[in-house]
C-alpha cells in the first residue's frame, strides 16, 4: 500500500491503492491465494456465470467499505451476498416455502433472492444498507463455487466495474476498470450469461426486482402465479424495509464543528476530540464508512431523544456515500 503525501485525498487514496492487482489462475494455488486475500479483508474479483463480481468478506465492515471505495459508488446501496449452497443461504436468511421451491429449481444459477435477514446472520450492516432483508445468490460458475468453498464464508459481490461503467464479462475488463484498486482477479475466462442475475423479492408478495439471467416467466411457472413488478431493487418497497434504514429517532444536524448544548456529537477527524463517538479520528474514509451504520445506531441509543450533531465529512471518494446516508438520516421524516 502506498501512502499519499500532501494530497487532500491522502487518507482515502492510501487505503484505495493496493499497488499491483494480482492476476490469479483458477487452479488450487490461485484459489487458495484468493481465499487468503478475502480472509485478510482484501478485495478479489472472480467470474460468475453472469458477470465478474468484486468480492469481499460480507461479515467485514472494512472489506465491504472497500468495495464501495474501489467502485467509487456515490451511495451505499445493498449488495448481493454469494454463498456456495442453499444450506449456507439458510443460515443467513429465513426461507419460506416459496423460497425453498425457487432455490431448489434455480440454484445454483443466475437468480438472486431477497429474503428476511436472520438477526444472527453476522453480516456487516453495510452489505444490506441497514435493511432487515438480504439479497442472496448461489452462483453456478465452477470457479465462483470453488472460491466460495475455499473461503468458507459469505462474499458480497457487486459487478466488478467502476460505478457507472458496464459490467465486466472478462478478467481483462476488470483489470481495465479496477487495476491498482483491488488485490486480485481470478481469471476464469468469459462469462456465459453476460447479464446480471434476476432478483426476486420474497419479503411479502413475490416481486421481480430486477430482470436478468432467469426469465420472469420461468419463476412464475415455478411459483404458480404472476410476479408483481411494482418494487425496484433501488427502492425496495416491501413492508418494513424502509423503516429499518437506520434513520435515527433523534433529529440530526449535519456539518457540526462543535457540540451545541444538549447534543450528542458524532465526530470525524482529529479536530473532533470532544466528540461522543468519532467515525474516524484519523479521517480515514474506509474506517468511517465501516463504522457508519454501527455508530448511527449507537448514537441514536445513547442520545435517547437528544439531537445528534455530525461533523462535516469531505465530499470526495467514500465521503460521497457517507454524506448521502447522513443526508437521508437528517431529512425530515413523514
Distance (Å, rounded) from C-alpha 202 to C-alpha 241?
12
* Among residues 12, 16, 42, 48, the one that binds ligand TXA under rule CB under 6 A: 48
Distance (Å, rounded) from C-alpha 307 to C-alpha 329?
12
Q: Which does 41 bind (CB under 5 to 8 A by kind): ligand TXA, Mg ion, none?
A: none
Cβ-Cβ contacts under 8 Å for 27 (sequence gap 6 or more): none
Select the residue whose beta carbon is closest to ligand TXA and give its number. 53
Residue 159 bridge partners (DSSP): 53
Question: Across the beta sheet with 184-186, what order do the strands follow?
Answer: 22-24, 184-186, 44-47, 52-57, 155-156, 80-82, 133-137, 111-116, 198-201, 207-210
Q: Which is nearer to ligand TXA, 135 or 277 (CB)?
A: 135
79 binds ligand TXA (CB under 6 A): yes
Residue of 192, 204, 194, 308 lying closest to 246 (CA atoms): 308
CB of 220 to ligand TXA, least distance (A): 19
Span 221-250, contacts to ligand TXA by CB under 6 A: 233-234, 236
Interface segment toward ligand TXA; rule CB under 6 A; list 118-126, 194-202, 268-276, 322-330: 194-202
DSSP 3-state assignment of 178? Answer: helix
Cβ-Cβ contacts under 8 Å for 114 (sequence gap 6 or more): 133, 134, 135, 136, 199, 200, 201, 202, 203, 209, 236, 238
CB of 309 to ligand TXA, least distance (A): 30
Distance (Å, rounded) from C-alpha 110 to C-alpha 127?
19
133 binds ligand TXA (CB under 6 A): yes
128 binds ligand TXA (CB under 6 A): yes
197 binds ligand TXA (CB under 6 A): yes
Supply 65's cell numbers: 467499505
80 binds ligand TXA (CB under 6 A): yes
Point out which residues bind Mg ion (CB under 5 A).
159
CB of 78 to ligand TXA, least distance (A): 3
Residues that bind ligand TXA (CB under 6 A): 48, 50-51, 53, 77-80, 112, 114, 128, 131, 133-135, 137, 139, 157-159, 196-197, 199, 209-210, 233-234, 236
Amino acid at each position: 500500500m502506498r501512502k499519499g503525501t500532501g494530497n487532500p485525498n491522502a487518507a482515502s487514496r492510501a487505503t484505495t491503492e493496493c499497488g499491483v492487482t494480482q492476476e490469479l489462475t483458477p487452479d488450487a494455488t490461485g484459489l487458495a491465494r484468493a481465499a487468503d486475500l478475502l480472509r485478510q479483508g482484501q478485495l478479489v474479483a472472480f467470474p460468475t456465470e453472469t458477470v465478474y463480481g468484486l468480492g469481499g468478506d460480507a461479515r467485514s465492515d472494512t472489506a465491504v467499505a472497500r468495495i464501495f471505495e474501489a467502485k467509487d459508488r456515490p451511495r451505499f446501496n445493498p449488495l448481493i451476498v454469494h454463498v456456495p449452497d442453499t444450506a449456507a443461504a439458510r443460515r443467513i436468511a429465513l426461507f419460506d416455502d416459496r423460497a425453498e421451491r425457487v432455490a431448489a429449481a434455480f440454484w445454483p444459477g443466475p437468480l438472486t433472492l431477497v429474503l428476511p435477514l436472520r438477526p444472527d446472520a453476522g453480516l456487516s450492516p453495510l452489505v444490506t444498507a441497514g435493511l432487515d432483508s438480504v439479497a442472496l445468490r448461489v452462483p453456478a460458475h465452477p470457479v465462483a463455487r470453488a472460491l466460495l468453498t475455499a473461503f468458507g464464508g459469505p462474499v458480497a459481490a457487486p459487478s466488478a466495474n467502476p460505478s457507472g461503467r458496464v459490467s465486466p464479462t472478462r478478467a481483462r475488463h476488470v483489470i481495465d476498470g479496477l487495476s491498482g484498486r483491488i488485490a486480485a482477479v481470478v481469471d476464469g475466462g468469459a462469462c456465459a450469461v453476460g447479464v446480471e442475475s434476476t432478483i426476486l423479492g420474497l419479503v411479502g408478495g413475490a416481486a421481480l426486482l430486477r430482470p436478468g439471467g432467469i426469465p420472469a416467466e420461468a419463476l412464475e411457472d415455478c411459483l404458480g402465479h404472476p410476479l408483481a413488478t411494482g418494487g425496484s431493487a433501488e427502492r425496495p418497497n416491501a413492508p418494513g424495509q424502509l423503516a429499518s434504514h437506520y434513520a435515527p429517532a433523534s433529529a440530526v444536524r449535519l456539518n457540526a464543528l462543535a457540540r451545541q448544548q444538549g447534543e450528542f456529537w458524532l465526530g470525524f477527524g482529529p479536530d473532533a476530540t470532544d466528540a461522543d463517538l468519532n467515525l474516524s479520528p484519523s479521517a480515514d474514509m474506509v474506517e468511517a464508512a465501516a463504522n457508519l451504520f454501527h455508530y448511527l445506531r449507537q448514537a441514536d441509543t445513547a442520545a435517547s431523544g437528544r439531537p445528534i450533531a455530525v461533523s462535516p465529512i469531505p465530499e470526495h471518494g467514500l465521503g460521497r456515500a457517507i454524506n448521502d446516508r447522513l443526508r437521508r438520516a437528517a431529512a425530515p421524516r413523514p
